Structure 1
Amino acid sequence: MSQVKIFADSTCDLPHDWIKAHDIGIIPLYVTFGDQNYRDGVDLTTPELYAKVEQTGSLPKTAAPSPSDFIAAFTPFVEEGRDIVYISLSSELSSTYQNALIAGEEFPEGRITVVDSRNLTTGIGLLVMKAVAAAEQGKSAREIAGIVETVKPLVETEFVIDSLEYLYKGGRCSGMQNLMSSLLKIRPVIKVIDGKMTPAYKVRGKREKALEQMVNNTLDKKDEMDNDLIFVTHSMAAEDAEAIKRLLEQKTGAREVALSDAGCVISSHCGAKTIGIIYSKKA
């Protein structure tokens, strides 16, 4: 057993079998419908989320874990003598990182190391898997955090949103933008830049055209890739994600192209049929 326990939060969207196989601790964020709170991936699944949105006609709110949530999760491992490296959702998108720092102050100095991923979904997941590999090699918490800090500016996260409806309902775009996007069949493509979700470009026409553009953008950078791992992450778009996975396997020579399902928090902001490609450039 590694002397360093790796933690992430539910927005890392790693496959469940990977989490179990590598003993990764997961802190769930919260999804709230009315006065009912659900732990992302524990009390509520993505299909159930969309069913509730359909029933209520409104989007849920999302919230960070509290400092006490982190303390409760970290304490058993600290008590058994293990150090912890926690890799958080981008501090630009949530107070999750700040709450983890607050929790860390309740433990002896050096026992809890908190790293801001400056990313979301499997952009975090890539960093977590780098940390896991380092922990399994016996590296210290400080060494692991250093590896993650080196890799995180190299992570490329780009995804196609099928509709602006969820961004509109969540207050992230105007009603006019939503209307014009629907009328003109504009597919927005989002990138994570400086820790924020940033509109990168728009593709007019069929969804397939936007997905093809995203794939081509990825393939244009294949010589710059760290070909260890590429994620294709999706929200209720398994068929298209599988087709993109097969294409990337053929064209990139990556050791592994992995499929990942977006959890409730990510899905509540982006909506169904969102698909992203996430990889790291070479160091």
Structure 2
Amino acid sequence: MPRIKIFSDSTSDLNPEWIQTYDIGVIPLYVVFGDESLKDGVEITPEQLYARVDQDGRLPKTAAPSPADFMAAFRPYIEQGDDILYISLSSDLSSTYQNAKIASTEFPEGRISVVDSLNLSSGIGLLVMKAVQAAEKGQTLAEVTKLVESVRPHVRTEFVIDTLEYLYKGGRCSGMQNLIGSLLKIRPVIRVADGKMTPAYKVRGKREKAMDQMLQNSLADKEQIDKDLIIVVHTMAKEDALALQKTLQEQTGARVEITTAGCVICSHCGPKTIGIIYHTVV
């Protein structure tokens, strides 16, 4: 039976250790400053991105890998006899899924499975790790694909944005909303639902209050949470991530891992964003 090579893209925010240990392929999206196009996580880091935004006063654009990028990444593995499973950033947020599907048609039918995560950041990463575990158990490409698609509706992704500034610069909120939000210290909490980022609620006051609300929302699912893996993802908020990790481990008994967000996620949400991702078992 062919080996299954698992692919995702740079928005999956996987730990480098997982990528290396499980030989996961990561196809970078692009961060675009004017005429300069940089590969996320390869040619630019979140720290460098934040520095440029502070210097220029404007956000970069982001762009999906082209079908040619996917073909170049897939071809060596197909030629050596592997099957491929690629789990993409939500098709509602990017054309990565569509471009990967286009690329897959250039190879023999049935060798490449392309799955829309309907998620982002570590919501994708959680599905990737489920796929890795299934592939290691010797499941076929069709079986692993079916597993990922069955888990997908039960992934819960929620995160606190520390500042409205990046949403404002990115055109996702008005100048008045940004001003009022800053004055009143409003922390928006974003949830992923049906592949889209949706405002779940807003918490007024200290950042810790918003994080505690997010934590309590997660703990409300404590009896249904899959204990195999909960992910706390952050950008420039390590201490907060460690605190959430400790509480989640104590309260749920689950394995809780910390990951850091890549440049594409950072460019939309800004520094000190933090999230909790898990999936429920029905």
Task: Give TM-score, length-normalised by structure 1.
Answer: 0.98
- Distance (whole Å) between structure 2 residues aligned to residue 6 and residue 116 of structure 1: 14
State how many pairs are aligned.
282
The 3-state SS of whatever aligns with 1:62 is strand
3-state SS, counterpart of residue 228 of structure 1: coil
Counterpart residue number, 1:44: 44
In the alignment, the residues of structure 2 paired with residue 234 and residue 174 of structure 1 have an alpha-carbon distance, to the nearest angstrom, of 25
| d(CA) in 2 for partners of 1:250, 1:137 | 29
Q: Deviations over 1:112-152 (max 9, x none)?
A: 11000000000000000000011111111111100000000
> Is the CA contact (8 Å cut-off) linking 1:6 and 1:86 kept in structure 2?
yes
1:274 maps onto 2:279 in alignment: no
Aligned residue in 1 for 2:16:
16
SS of equivalent to 2:229? strand
Q: 1:137 to 1:181 in 2, by over 3 A?
A: same
* Alignment partner of 1:32 is 2:35: no
RMSD: 1.0
Secondary structure of the corresponding residue to residue 17 of structure 1:
helix
Amino acid at match of 1:117: S
CA shift for structure 1 position 170: 0.7
Deviations 1:22-60 (A, max 9, x none): 000000000011111110000111111101111111100
Contact 1:2 1:136 in 2 (8 A): no
The answer (yes or no) to whether the contact 1:10–1:41 under 8 Å persists in 2 is yes
Task: Tell whether 2:70 aligns with 1:101.
Answer: no
Q: Does the 8 Å contact 2:2/2:81 carry over to 1?
A: no
What is the identity, as a one-letter code, of the residue corresponding to 1:147?
A: L
Instruction: Give the Cα separation in 2 of the matches to 1:85 and 1:36.
Output: 31
Amino acid at match of 2:142: R
Mapped contact 1:117–1:152 kept (Cα < 8 A): yes
Letter in 1 for 2:65: P
Question: What is the identity, as a one-letter code, of the residue corresponding to 1:11?
Answer: T
1:62 and 2:62 correspond = yes
Deviation for aligned residue 1:102: 0.4
- Which secondary structure does the structure 2 equivalent of 1:113 belong to? strand
1:181 is the counterpart of 2:210: no
**Residues 2 and 47 from structure 1, CA distance in 2 versus in 1: closer, same or farther, beyond 3 angstroms?**
farther
Give the C-alpha shift of residue 81 in structure 1: 0.4
Equivalent pair of 1:14/1:122 in contact (CA under 8 Å): yes
Counterpart AA for 1:152: R
1:230 is matched with 230
Displacement of 1:224 in angstroms is 1.3
Mapped to 2, the partners of 1:162 and 1:228 lie a distance apart of 29
Q: Residue 210 of structure 2 corresponds to which residue in structure 1? A: 210
**Are 1:195 and 2:195 matched, yes or no?**
yes
> Structure 1 residue 277: deviation in Å?
0.2
Q: Distance in 1 between matches of 2:138 and 2:251?
A: 34
- Report the 3-state secondary structure (helix = DSSP H, G, I; strand = E; otherwise coil) of the residue aligned with 2:266: helix
Moved over 4 A (4+): none
Partner Cα separation in structure 2 for residue 160 and residue 98 of structure 1: 29
Matched, 1:251 2:225: no
TM-score for both structures, normalised by structure 2: 0.99
- The aligned residue for residue 147 of structure 1 is 147
Matched with 1:265 is 264
Q: 2:32 corresponds to which letter in structure 1?
A: T
